[in-house]
Structures are given as structure tokens and as C-alpha cells.
Amino acid sequence: MTHDPDCIFCKIAAGRIPSKKVYEDEEILVFHDIHPWAPVHFLLIPKQHIPSMAHVEPSHAALLGKMMSLVPALAKQEGCRPYPEGGFRLVCNTGDDGGQEVPHLHFHVIGGPRPWLKG
């Protein structure tokens, strides 16, 4: 597994920077966003350093599938109301034009009653 010693998310995944964890296993870390846009806002990251969605390769398919399969249960656990009245937004910003601020692949899960700070 690769890590970038200068990456803030790699440091969080390694436990060198504290986070409010939602879920963790050997491949994935899920934690609350420090600047939430909505009542529910957490991030899913692979512990492996993948700079962005633009760097995803076929070899990452199982990892990304595992990450996506966690989203519904974690969203419900963290307070999103059930579908279809409730729900959540799943966002993956990629590159400068896509609004990516941290160069480590991550997915935002955002939900809860509206209005939200953003979106």
C-alpha cells in the first residue's frame, strides 16, 4: 500500500492526525468533515494514497466497490433519513477544475434536513 508522507489524509489514515472516526478497516477510513456543509457530512478515503479519481485504475475496482457499498448504511447510521424522503449526496471532486482541495481520493457523504451550507 502506498502513502504520501506529505498528504494530510495519509497522516489521518495513519493515526498521526486525529479524526472523528465513523468507520475503519484495513483498507478504508471514514471520518467526519472538519468543516461540515450539512447536518451529516463525512468523508470516505482509501488508506492507500490515490491522488484523485483521475488516477483510479481497474485494479482499484474492488476497493471502490467496497467503499460505495458502505455509504448507505453509514449515511443512515450518521443521521440521514431513509430514501426516498431523506437520502444523501455523494460527491467526489477531481482536480483543480473539479474543486478538489486535498490530493487524495475521497468521497463526501452529505445529508440531513435542508437547507445546507453548500449545495
Residue 5: what are its φ and ψ, rounded to 5°?
-60, -20
Reported as type and span, the H/E element at residue 12 is: helix 8-13
In the set 41, 49, 104, 106, the catalytic residue is: 106
Q: Is 60 an annotated catalytic residue?
A: no
Q: How far is CA 77 from CA 18, 22, 39, 60, 111, in A?
A: 21, 9, 13, 26, 12
Helix (H, G, I), strand (E, B) or coil at 36: coil
Residue 58: what are its φ and ψ, rounded to 5°?
-55, -30
Task: Report d(CA 38, CA 81) in Å as an integer.
Answer: 13
Helix (H, G, I), strand (E, B) or coil at 76: helix
Give the residue numbers marked as catalytic: 106
